[in-house]
């Protein structure tokens, strides 16, 4: 290997701002999370769907301006102009897919785990590329579907080992009653909702101040009255009764008792969620042990989104788990299981004459389902190769030199306990077959 410098103008090995890599230890932990989420979705009868990362810009913006300025435009080197962009969520591409495939049997239950891109200003724990895990039921207007989504949220968090989570629930049908109750015109609903949505940031006093800039004092009072926790349920109509139905189905479908359900499933009357496409249930999950991460899962019912393509409404409900934010939260809480490698055994290469033996051992162990590496570095000495295994945190090494070969044995060393033992060459698969469970 020569050390010649090929390019005098070296290129900085940097990433664009707002993007990141996952090194092996992080990628192993993230992959385990993805596997858990995927298996949970499949248990509930969802199948995978894979939509394209690149979509027509018009599809993503709904034909309107990209008001949030979050879309990444994509342009090929051979193109003069471009009308394509990277998806910013997995919901809009799903709606497009449903519109393009009207004959799919419904309800259509799909999950998708894929990256999305948003050109937002990068900040702590927020990146411009991030992985979403979405689960949606399309073609069911039953409240059962909303309840199933809530049950899936519960089950995903349990399966990830997160015990302390809150599913904040609200219902757009309740918020839709606000103009009539408070006595302001329907057109001003979104002015009110935009203010209410800021409660986490500016507090109740802040909301009152902003409301009074847009509404009369008595209307502002009525709006705040509507949002109080013990506001008269009978005045809240269908949205409130849907909340009750969902809570009662969660009871049945999780096996939790009432106190437990009340602890993690909470009516949060000020929850709006920015997207205007929601029409009923709205969910947003927060982790009390990592409040600075914000929402780690959110979604709701969007019965009218598909209609922008077909003119016909198809009811739909679903949520999106923010896998990278969940990763950051679990890392902070301490529930993320990290390890440096998935490799269980490293076979050292100590004697060039025994290469065939090393290759055969590796093949036998791999065939038995044991993740096995053969040392391939520059160091021909035992000590250097052991050091490599220690740095990589590989649990076991197999040592076989001419002495072992003559005796028809191998030495197996556990690098955690530093214990080593000689085993008969033929017993190597049996030995690691038994140990494999311990290495995982």
Residue corresponding to tokens 């051992």:
361
> Nearer Cβ to its own copies, position 72 or 231?
72
> Nearer Cβ to its own copies, position 111 or 226?
111
With CA atoms as reference, report the closest residue to 140 among 309, 302, 267, 283. 302
> Nearer Cβ to its own copies, position 137 or 261?
137
Q: Using CA atoms, how far apart are residues 157 and 249, in angstroms rounded to an integer?
A: 18
The answer to whether residues 94 and 18 touch, using CB atoms and an 8 Å cutoff, is: no
> Nearer Cβ to its own copies, position 30 or 222?
30
The answer to whether residues 49 and 110 touch, using CB atoms and an 8 Å cutoff, is: yes
The first and second tokens of residue 182, run together, are: 């408070």
Task: Tell which phi-psi region holds residue 426, choosing left (phi > 0), alpha (psi between -120 and 50) or beta.
Answer: alpha
The answer to whether residues 134 and 233 touch, using CB atoms and an 8 Å cutoff, is: no
Provide, rounded to whole angstroms, the least separation between the CB of residue 307 and its own copies: 5
Provide, rounded to whole angstroms, the least separation between the CB of residue 232 and its own copies: 28
> Nearer Cβ to its own copies, position 221 or 303?
303
Backbone phi and psi for residue 10, each to the nearest 5 degrees, phi listed first:
-70, 150
Provide, rounded to whole angstroms, the least separation between the CB of residue 363 and its own copies: 5
> Nearer Cβ to its own copies, position 29 or 182?
29
How many CA atoms within 13 Å lie on the side-chain side of 147? 18
SS3 300: strand
Backbone phi and psi for residue 153, each to the nearest 5 degrees, phi listed first:
-55, -50
Provide, rounded to whole angstroms, the least separation between the CB of residue 327 and its own copies: 11
Residue corresponding to tokens 């780690």:
296
> Nearer Cβ to its own copies, position 114 or 298?
114
Cα angle 363-366-370, degrees, rounded to a multiple of 5? 145
> Nearer Cβ to its own copies, position 177 or 323?
323
Provide, rounded to whole angstroms, the least separation between the CB of residue 51 and its own copies: 5
> Nearer Cβ to its own copies, position 39 or 403?
39
Cα dihedral sign, 343-347-350-353: negative
Q: Using CA atoms, how far apart are residues 41 and 411, in angstroms rounded to an integer?
A: 44
Provide, rounded to whole angstroms, the least separation between the CB of residue 205 and its own copies: 32
Q: Using CA atoms, how far apart are residues 338 and 24, in angstroms rounded to an integer?
A: 10
Q: Using CA atoms, how far apart are residues 271 and 295, in angstroms rounded to an integer?
A: 12
The answer to whether residues 133 and 113 touch, using CB atoms and an 8 Å cutoff, is: yes
Backbone phi and psi for residue 238, each to the nearest 5 degrees, phi listed first:
-60, -40
């Amino acid at each position: 290997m020569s050390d010649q410098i090929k390019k005098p103008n070296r290129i900085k090995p940097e990433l664009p701002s707002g993007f990141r890599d996952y090194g092996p230890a992080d990628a192993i932990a993230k992959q385990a999370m993805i596997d858990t989420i995927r298996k949970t979705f499949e248990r509930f009868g969802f199948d995978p769907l894979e939509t394209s990362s690149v979509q027509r810009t018009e599809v993503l913006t709904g034909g309107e301006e990209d008001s949030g300025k979050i879309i990444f435009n994509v342009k090929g080197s051979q193109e003069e102009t471009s009308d394509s962009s990277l998806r910013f969520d997995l919901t809009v591409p799903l709606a497009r897919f449903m519109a393009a495939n009207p004959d799919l049997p419904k309800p259509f239950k799909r999950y998708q785990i894929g990256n999305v891109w948003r050109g937002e200003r990068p900040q702590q724990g927020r990146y411009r590329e991030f992985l979403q895990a979405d689960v949606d039921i399309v073609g069911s207007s039953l409240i059962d579907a909303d309840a199933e989504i809530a049950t899936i949220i519960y089950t995903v968090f349990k399966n990830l080992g997160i015990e302390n989570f809150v599913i904040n629930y609200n219902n757009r049908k309740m918020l839709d009653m606000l103009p009539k109750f408070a006595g302001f015109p329907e057109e001003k609903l979104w002015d009110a909702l935009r203010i209410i949505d800021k409660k986490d940031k500016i507090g109740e006093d802040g909301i009152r101040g902003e409301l009074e800039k847009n509404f009369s004092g008595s209307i502002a009072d009525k709006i705040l009255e509507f949002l109080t926790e013990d506001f008269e349920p009978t005045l809240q109509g269908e949205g409130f009764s849907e909340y009750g139905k969902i809570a009662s189905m969660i009871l049945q479908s999780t096996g939790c008792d009432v106190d437990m359900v009340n602890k993690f499933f909470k009516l949060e009357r000020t929850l709006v969620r920015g997207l205007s496409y929601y029409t009923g249930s709205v969910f947003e999950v927060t982790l009390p042990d990592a409040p600075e991460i914000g929402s780690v899962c959110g979604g709701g019912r969007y019965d009218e989104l598909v209609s922008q393509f077909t003119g016909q409404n198809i009811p739909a409900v679903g949520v999106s788990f923010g896998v990278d934010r969940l990763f950051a939260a679990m890392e902070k809480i301490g529930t993320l299981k990290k390890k440096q490698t998935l490799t269980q055994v490293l076979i050292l290469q100590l004697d060039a004459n025994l290469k065939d033996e090393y290759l055969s051992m590796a093949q036998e162990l791999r065939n038995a389902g044991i993740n096995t590496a053969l040392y391939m570095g520059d160091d021909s000495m035992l000590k250097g190769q052991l050091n490599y295994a220690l740095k990589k945190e590989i649990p076991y090494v197999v040592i076989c030199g001419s002495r072992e070969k003559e005796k028809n044995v191998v030495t197996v060393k556990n690098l955690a306990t530093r214990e080593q033992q000689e085993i008969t060459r033929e017993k190597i698969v049996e030995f690691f077959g038994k140990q494999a469970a311990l290495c995982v």
